[in-house]
Structure 1
Amino acid sequence: MLRNVPEIKLYGADGCHKTRYYQLVLESTRLPFAFLDVEADEGHASELRSLYTNGKLNFPTITIGRKKLRNPYKDELFKWLHKLIPSMLEIKHDKEAQKFTMDINGEEARVEYNLRDGKMYLVHSEVPYQLRGRGIGKELVLKTFEKLTEEGYKAVAICTYIKAIKNRDPKWKEIIE
């Protein structure tokens, strides 16, 4: 489930092969985005010019919220999508290490647990320092709740941050102890 998706805009031209490439890449993500044809609409062209100090039609340009990317490599685009939209990240359950993890461009965010009496005791959550303040921790915990519920586990929140996330949502208050 995608949450907190910022507005995504693709500034380009209908006949531009690079613009078409970015349309296909964005469509593959299933993220909502607006295609703004700067050759067909002067309003879109003016909006694009305002993004650059030189006032030129630098397209293709993709904006993700306030982040501006001009003709990015696919890897760079996905790096920023993952940083700015953590809900599109996949969570993995490593039963052997007793943790749930999300990979954010090579960095690991995790929720650690202890399994006792058929219950998961969620004891620790951590997001790499340089990625904090972007909603990744909240998304990590929510995805952990979804995954452990899907797998049929009962859980007890021990970590204060995990407790706080649980207590903000009536759905999880009833499921996670």
Structure 2
Amino acid sequence: MQIDEEKTGAKGRYTATVDGHTGEMTYSRSSSQLVIIDHTFVPDELRGKGVGQALARHAVEEARQGGWKIIPLCPFMRAHAMRHPEWQDVIQA
């Protein structure tokens, strides 16, 4: 699944489009070392297809590559962070 990124200043979003429907995860950069994931949206047409998980996994991979931490304010991202102890190196509770 291809995930794209859009950036506007300190804000951005990751998107994944499948069958003409787009899921997204939005974030705000609070510093060069800290990103706040604040929202995840997956339309009904994509539920159960792993889009939300792919977006969360992508955010974690980006944080590892960029050397920053994630504050998971979004309930979806927070729940996934709790289910994935292997992500704790980039999660700031």
Task: Please indicate the TM-score interval, normalised by the length of the shorter structure.
Answer: 0.7 to 0.9
- Aligned amino acid, residue 94 of structure 1: E
Matches within 5 A, 1:120-139: 120-139=35-54
Distance 1:109 1:153 in 2: 23
Structure 1 vs Structure 2: percent identity of aligned residues?
26
Deviation of 1:172 after TM superposition, in Å, equals: 0.8
Whose RCO is larger (CA < 8 A, sep 6+)?
2
1:113–1:121: 8 Å Cα contact kept in structure 2? yes
DSSP 3-state at the match of 1:90: coil
Matches within 5 A, 1:17-56: none
The equivalent residue for 1:154 is: 69
Judging by fraction of residues, say which structure has more strand: 2
The equivalent residue for 2:29 is: 115
Of 6, 10, 14 in structure 2, the residue corresponding to residue 100 of structure 1 is: 14
Relative to 1, partners in 2 of residues 1:94 and 1:101: Cα closer, same or farther, differing over 3 Å?
same
Judging by fraction of residues, say which structure has more helix: 1
Deviation of 1:130 after TM superposition, in Å, equals: 1.3
1:91–1:144: 8 Å Cα contact kept in structure 2? no
Deviation of 1:149 after TM superposition, in Å, equals: 2.3
TM-score (structure 2 length as normaliser): 0.81
Q: Would you say 1:90 and 2:2 are equivalent positions?
A: yes
- Aligned amino acid, residue 131 of structure 1: L
Distance 1:131 1:102 in 2: 10
Distance 1:152 1:101 in 2: 21
Higher Cα Rg: structure 1 or 2? 1
TM-score (structure 1 length as normaliser): 0.46
* Unaligned ranges ≥5, structure 2: none
How many aligned residue pairs are there?
89
Distance 2:87 2:63 in 1: 12
- Aligned amino acid, residue 116 of structure 1: S
